[in-house]
Amino acid sequence: MNKYLRRIHRIYVIFVIVLFFILFYPFYYLAASKPAFYPWLNKLRKFNSMCSSFFTGIYFRLSFEAPLEIDKTYIYCANHSSNLDIMAFCLLARGNFHFMGKEELLGNPVLKLFFNTIDIPVSRTNRLSAFRAFIKAGNNLEAGRSLIIFPEGGISTDNYPPSLLPFKNGPFRLAIEKKIPIVPVTLSNVWKKMWDDGEKYGSSPGICDIYIHKAVPTAHLTLEDTDELKEKVFELINSKLVTR
């Protein structure tokens, strides 16, 4: 698909996403009003993502190395390079879940409802904000709500085609402290359908391949194993990443 068609498709994708958000908004608003309703909020997000995927022609092919338990709490760690990554996780995450993302998402007209309620915003430059965010995430994990996080800490707009950036320590320390297994997830070629800098590269319909690695247990680890765990997850994610 040439660049002009890709740009037209990107505009259409944004239109579809905004349209479904508006249609779902009354239900989102009610489900976001109380933490007890958050499981329904996630069900709505999952259904919304299914509808958006169908009408944009962007589909997600999930490959599981091993089945995930529906009622088990996980920390999902993935590479991050596309505006479609959140949609992909709404489809693949099992059970109850929440995201941790950059504080700037509070200004996003679609995502701010979630980051003011179920999800956790964090400042990438403020250590106190990060500390508070991980305390909140730890409490949510103890309550049985899986965490979805992108350990690169952001997306480099100069990093195209994307390669994996160094990981932050936070999610790995949290996994060890709370004894929560980590699920490495490789969003293999999602960037090819819509990279983060969509204005420049546009988007296109097709199949996005996502590889969900076997969960990495952490119950036997101590904080001294943080770097080793981080490196292991990095290598697993990188092993399935498509960079061409």
48 part of a folded domain: yes
Residue 99 falls inside a structural domain: yes
pLDDT for the residue 81: 82
In a domain, 54, yes or no: yes
Q: What is the predicted pLDDT for the residue at 200? A: 67
Q: For position 167, which CATH number holds?
A: 3.40.1130
Residue 136 included in any domain: yes
Helix (H) / strand (E) element for 211: namely strand 206-212
pLDDT at position 73, please? 97
Q: What is the DSSP letter of 203?
A: B
In three-state secondary structure terms, 74 is: coil
Confidence (pLDDT) at 202: 83
The predicted structure's pLDDT at residue 85 = 93
DSSP code per residue over 110-122: TTHHHHTTTSEEE
Residue 244 lies inside a defined structural domain of this protein: no
Q: What residues contact 168, with CB distance under 8 A and at least 6 apart?
A: 151, 152, 153
Assigned domain for 53 exists: yes
User: Under DSSP, is residue 167 helix (H, G, I), strand (E, B) or coil?
Assistant: coil
Other C-beta atoms lying within 10 Å of the C-beta of residue 114: 23
| pLDDT value of position 153 | 79
Q: How far is the first Cα of the chain from the last one, in angstroms, to the nearest whole number?
A: 16
Per-residue confidence (pLDDT) for residue 157, from 0 to 100: 64
Q: Could you tell me which residues come within 8 angstroms of residue 73 by beta carbon, excluding any fewer than 6 positions away?
A: 95, 141, 144, 145, 146, 180
Give the separation between CA 80 and CA 129, rounded to whole angstroms. Answer: 21
Separation of alpha carbons 77 and 86, rounded Å: 12
Question: What number of other Cβ atoms are within 10 A of residue 82's Cβ?
Answer: 24
| 55 found inside a domain | yes
Tell me how many domains the chain contains. 1
Identify the pLDDT of residue 99. Answer: 96
pLDDT in 10s for each residue of the chain, 244 residues: 778 899 899 999 999 999 999 999 999 999 999 999 999 999 999 999 999 999 999 999 999 999 999 889 999 999 998 889 999 999 999 889 999 998 888 888 889 999 999 999 998 788 888 889 999 999 999 999 999 999 997 776 666 777 888 999 999 999 999 999 999 999 999 988 987 655 667 889 999 999 999 999 999 999 999 999 999 999 999 999 987 7
Q: What is the pLDDT of residue 199?
A: 61
Q: Which domain holds residue 27?
A: 3-239
